Amino acid sequence: MPTARRTLGIRTALAAATLLLASACGGTSPGGAGTGSSIPGGTGSGAARTLTVFAAASLRQTFTRLGADYERAHPGVTVTFSFAGSSDLVAQLEQGAPADVLATADERTMTKALGARLLGAEPRAFATNTLTIVTPPDNPRRITRLADLARDGVAVVVCAPPVPCGAATERVERSAGVTLKPVSEEQSVTDVLGKVRAGQADAGLVYTTDARAAGSAVDVIPLPEASAAVNTYPIAVTATAGGADAQAFVDLVTGPQGRAVLAQAGFQQP
Q: What's the CATH number where 67 sits? A: 3.40.190.10
- Residues in the annotated binding site for molybdate: 58, 86, 189, 207
CA–CA separation, 168 vs 146, rounded Å? 14
Residues 224 and 95 placed together within one structural domain of the fold: no
**139-141-144-149 Cα dihedral, nearest 10 degrees:** -120
Q: Which domain holds residue 198?
A: 131-228
Question: Which residues of the chain fall below pLDDT 70?
Answer: 1-46
What 139-145 contacts at long range (C-beta under 8 Å, 24+ apart), as own/partner pairs, is: 139/219, 139/221, 140/202, 141/202, 141/203, 143/202, 143/203, 143/221, 144/221, 145/221
Whether 36 maps to a domain, the answer reads no
Residues 146 and 260 placed together within one structural domain of the fold: no
Whether 27 maps to a domain, the answer reads no
Whether 192 maps to a domain, the answer reads yes
Whether 258 maps to a domain, the answer reads yes
Residues 137 and 224 placed together within one structural domain of the fold: yes
Residues 117 and 137 placed together within one structural domain of the fold: no
Residues 169 and 203 placed together within one structural domain of the fold: yes
pLDDT at 43: 52
pLDDT at 41: 62
- Residues in the annotated binding site: 58, 86, 189, 207
pLDDT at 190: 95
Q: How many domains does the chain have?
A: 2
